[in-house]
Amino acid sequence: MTNRIDSGSGDVFTREETYAATRRPVALAETLVPDAYTSDAFLALERERVFASSWVAVGCSATLREPGDALVADVAGRSVVVVRADDGALGAYYNVCRHRGTRLVTADTTRVGRYLRCPYHSWAYDREGRCVGTPLFAGSDIPADQRAAFETADVAAFHRADYGLLPVAVDEWGPLVFLNLDGGAGPLAEHLGDLERRTAGYRLPELELARTGEYEIAANYKLIAENFMEYYHLPWIHPGLVKVSPIEAHHRWQGAGMYCGFCTSPIAPDTEDGGWQSGLAPLDGLDASDATSARFAWIFPNVAINVLPNHVFVILARPLSPRLTHETTYLLTPRGTTGGGDAESAVDGLARFWDGVNREDIGIVERVQAGLDSTPFPGGRLCYRFEEPLHRFQNMVADRMVGRRRVPPGDDVQSVPMFGARAS
């Protein structure tokens, strides 16, 4: 068994030997060291080595449809503002004025006007991040008889073009917006691997946002991720979910990419406890497999996407401390399914079902956190039959903590049954 370790400065968490038990083949592997879920030193390194070096999901594209739409994200302790520009492109910038470092916009900002204007000295930036006012610009409200004092045209060696907002790499896939603080991390497509191809039939960018939810969870974000990607717990934690996502219908759905994937195929009919199919028709044009399956993927490091024939449910996790995670959920549906009538009622039903499932998961992961915090638990043995995706995720974490960059390969076939003949 893996013993707890003396983390000290945290350097031990960057050593390959710390993860030796997790590196074994899944049939012999043990979990990450318990300190990975409880140590401030581990999280400090994780912010730099995982979140600051990866493509990190920060929000939903459906909230950024129009020019001027914005969101403010925290990635590895850095504040970044994402803005839809006038030409429709997304831009992302560190949320800091180039004059004296003032934070430009607040965390709840969802729209910016023609300019992003610093509240301190009124320097201004357009939606493309260009510095356009320092501070004399249209709408600055400086009295006419005082404007000359604020002009910068005669300031030596100063050019506004040199003082635009500091850019951050940004990209979109499906319903999600991703940021990358590390210029050497490669393109988002490389991070996602074959996930875009595997989900192409669902036309994910066309979906519209129907509902959002917010949760504060007293557990490490990795416990939320690991709970999502294993179905070992379904019969005991999710009595309603297991009726529509039968345990015997689970398949590993695992391609090359920085994600852990599985599916339920076929989905079972809804029951009195709810489900996924009643009320909303599936998208047109789905092939026979997509039309009867639910696809689930946790995209490293912090977002789950649940893709079904008639909707998508997203879980976005942001670590606040080793023991606290903020979670935002997004329910997306085909265009035309909101705004009233039977479809709106069906969306309400889906939102209630997902909220119930999510709260069941929150309750159990908080109990895991309590156990890790309050006992000398030394680490545990993975159950290989059910926890192969979890093993994959934990090794992605270990890779980044030791400074290794690699995209894990996928299975040789599209989907692998996890029960029945294979299990025996």
Alpha-carbon distance of 45 to 272, in angstroms, equals: 46
Choose one of 122, 143, 169: the last residue of a domain. Answer: 169
Q: Strands (DSSP E) along 234-323, which ranges?
A: 250-252, 259-264, 294-299, 303-308, 311-321
241 phi, psi to nearest 5 deg: -60, -40
The CA–CA distances, whole Å, from 227 to 79, 130, 245, 307, 324 equal 28, 43, 15, 18, 15
- Residue 121 and residue 238 in one domain: no
Rounded distance, CA 284 to CA 290, Å? 11
Residues 236 and 378 in one domain: yes
222 and 355 belong to one structural domain:
yes
Pair 323, 407 in one domain:
yes
Is residue 113 assigned to a domain?
A: yes
**What's 135's domain CATH number?**
2.102.10.10
Question: Domain check: are 88 and 215 in the same one?
Answer: no
- Domain shared by 207 and 356, yes or no: yes
- What pLDDT, on the 0 to 100 scale, is given for residue 1? 38
- In a domain, residue 5? The reply is no
CA-to-CA distance for 58 and 44, rounded, in angstroms?
Answer: 19
Residues 105 and 245 in one domain: no
**Domain final residue pick, 144, 169, 194:** 169
Specify the CATH number for the domain of residue 375: 3.90.380.10
Q: Is 28 among the domain residues?
A: no
In a domain, 20, yes or no: no
Domain range for 304 is 203-417
Classify residue 14: in a domain, yes or no. Answer: no
The answer as to whether 164 is a domain residue is yes
Q: Give the pLDDT score at 311.
A: 95
The predicted structure's pLDDT at residue 133: 80
| Cβ atoms within 10 Å of 335's Cβ, excluding its own | 8
Same domain, 359 and 244: yes
- Which H/E stretch holds residue 416? strand 416-417
Within this chain, do residues 242 and 348 fall inside the same structural domain, yes or no?
A: yes
Q: What is the pLDDT of residue 419?
A: 75
In a domain, 423, yes or no: no
pLDDT tens for the chain, 424 residues: list them: 345 565 555 799 999 999 999 999 999 999 999 999 999 999 999 999 999 999 999 999 999 999 999 999 999 999 999 999 999 999 999 999 999 999 999 999 999 999 999 999 989 999 999 998 877 655 566 777 777 777 777 777 788 899 999 999 999 999 999 999 997 778 999 999 999 999 999 999 999 999 999 999 999 999 999 999 987 787 888 888 888 888 888 888 999 999 999 999 999 998 888 888 877 889 999 999 999 999 999 999 999 999 999 999 999 999 999 999 999 999 999 987 766 678 888 999 999 999 999 999 999 999 999 999 999 999 899 987 788 999 999 999 999 999 999 999 998 888 888 875 544 3
Residues 344 and 214 in one domain: yes
Q: Do the domain assignments include residue 66?
A: yes
CB atoms within 10 A of CB 193: 20
Query: What is the DSSP track for 152-213?
Result: -TTSTT--GGGGPPPB-EEEEETTEEEEES-TTS--HHHHHTTHHHHTGGG-GGG-EEEEEE
